[in-house]
Amino acid sequence: MGDLADFFDKIKRYYKFTPHELRGLLIAILAVAFIISFKEWGTTSFDLAAGLYNLFNAVLIVALSILIHDFGQRIWGLAIGYRVEFRMWTFGLIAALVIAFISNGSLWLIVPSGFMLHHIAGHRLGWFRYDINYFGQAMVALAGPLFTLMLVILLKVLNSLFPNPLIQKAIVFNVIYAITSLLPIPPLDGSKIYFGSRMLYAFALPAIAVSTIMMTVNIPLLFALVLSFLVGIVLWLTYYISFERKLWAGPK
C-alpha cells in the first residue's frame, strides 16, 4: 500500500503540464489536426463550414491520441522516478505541413513531439543506474507506442460494436502515429529506444508495426496480437544472430 500511495503522490505532484508544455501541446494538436483534415474542406469546392466541422473532429482525434501517448510515458516515467516533459518538435511539424501541402493531404507524417526526462532524485534512491540513463529513456519511450497500440485495440473493439467513420479514421491515425513515433530519428521515441537497447528496438518496431497495421483490416484481434508477437520474436532473433552476437563476440 505504501508503494501505491507513493506512486499516486508522485502523480499528484509531478504529472501536471507546465505552461510551456501546454503551449507546445496546443500547437502540435492544431497542426496535426489541420494535416489530417487537409482534404476535407469541401468535395468539389472549398466549404468553410464542412472544413471547420472536420477540423473539429480531427482535433478530437489528435488530442485524444497525443494525450494517451503522453499519458503512458508520464505514468511509466513517474513509476521509475522520472518526470517527463512534453517537447513539441517544431521541425517535424513544419516538415509534416510541407508534405501535406505537396501531397494535397494524401500523406500524413505524424511526428508532433519528443520528450525530455527530469531526474526526481528522491524517488530514484535504490534504483540500479541511479541517474538518467539510456535504458531508462528507452523504457519510458516505449510506453508511448504501447499505449497508442492499446488505444487502437480499444477503438477497433468500439468500431466493431458501433461502426463509425470517425472511429475508423482515429484507428488509421493512431496506426500511423505508432509507426512514425518508432522511427529512429531524434527526438522521436524510436531514437531513444534504439540507443537505449538495440535488442529491444529490434523486437518493438516490427511487433508494434505489424499489430497496429493488422488492426486496420478485418482480422481477429487475438490472432493479430499473437502473429505480431511472433513476427517480433523472429526478427529479434534474426537481428541477434546476424548482428548483435557478432558484435559481442568481437574480432577473431
Q: pLDDT truncated to tens, each residue of the chain (252 aa)?
A: 557 777 777 888 888 999 999 999 999 999 999 999 998 887 677 778 888 999 999 999 999 999 999 999 999 998 888 899 999 999 999 999 999 999 998 999 999 999 999 887 765 555 555 567 888 899 999 999 999 999 999 999 999 999 999 999 999 999 999 999 999 999 999 999 999 999 999 999 999 999 999 988 888 888 999 999 999 999 999 998 888 776 665 555
Please tell me the distance from the alpha carbon of residue 214 to that of residue 228, in angstroms, as a whole number. Answer: 9
Question: For residue 161, what is the enclosing H or E element?
Answer: helix 134-161
Cβ atoms within 10 Å of 96's Cβ, excluding its own: 23
Please tell me the distance from the alpha carbon of residue 70 to that of residue 40, in angstroms, as a whole number. Answer: 27
Give the pLDDT of residue 42: 72
Burial 106-132 (b: 16+ CB within 10 A, else e): eebbbbbbbbebeebeebbeeeeeeee
> Cell 468535395, residue?
43
Please tell me the distance from the alpha carbon of residue 192 to that of residue 184, in angstroms, as a whole number. Answer: 8
Residues 73, 115 contacting (CB under 8 angstroms): yes
Domain that holds residue 224: 2-249
Here the cell at position 16 is 501536471
0.95 exceeded by the pTM? no
For 17-149, list the strands marked E by DSSP: 82-88, 113-119
The number of folded domains in the chain is 1
Give the pLDDT of residue 7: 75
